[in-house]
Amino acid sequence: MAINEREIRIRFAPPATDPVRLAIKARIAEAAQHLALTIHELVPGSREESEAITHLEMATGWALSGVDRRFAPRGTREPQPGEAGDGAAPGSP
């Protein structure tokens, strides 16, 4: 499918999420969308343009997943390995 501005906006729209993470994910999605639109504007329609946008989409997905999996609100922190709450037995590797 040929890429166009509408398709880029759909692909890089921020996903629905809880209010705490929404602002962070929206910033990431907005920055990725801006870069994708810039690539679309400046790189002639080609395999290279398509690959650049595809890889940007993949990187954005990983970043959004990182927010979902690793984000801890300010003033809190994630349990470290061996601490209560991480599912591992104390002292286990």
DSSP annotation of 60: H
Would you state the pLDDT for residue 86? 46
Per residue in 75-93, pLDDT (tens digit) is 666 555 665 544 444 454 5
Q: Which domain holds residue 48?
A: 5-70
In a domain, 91, yes or no: no
In a domain, 90, yes or no: no
Q: At what angle do helices 47-70 and 19-42 cross, to 10 degrees?
A: 170
In a domain, 76, yes or no: no
Per residue in 19-56, pLDDT (tens digit) is 878 889 999 999 999 999 999 999 999 999 999 999 99
Q: Return the structure tokens found at 87.
A: 């599912």
Q: Return the structure tokens found at 22.
A: 């929404």
The total number of structural domains that make up the chain = 1
In a domain, 82, yes or no: no
In a domain, 43, yes or no: yes
pTM: 0.67
Q: Is 16 left (phi over 0), alpha (psi -120 to 50) or beta?
A: beta
Contact 12, 57 (CB under 8 A): yes
Would you state the pLDDT for residue 78? 58
In a domain, 75, yes or no: no
Nearest to 15 by CA among 81, 64, 62: 64
Q: Tell which wins on pLDDT, 59 or 23.
A: 59
In a domain, 88, yes or no: no
In a domain, 87, yes or no: no
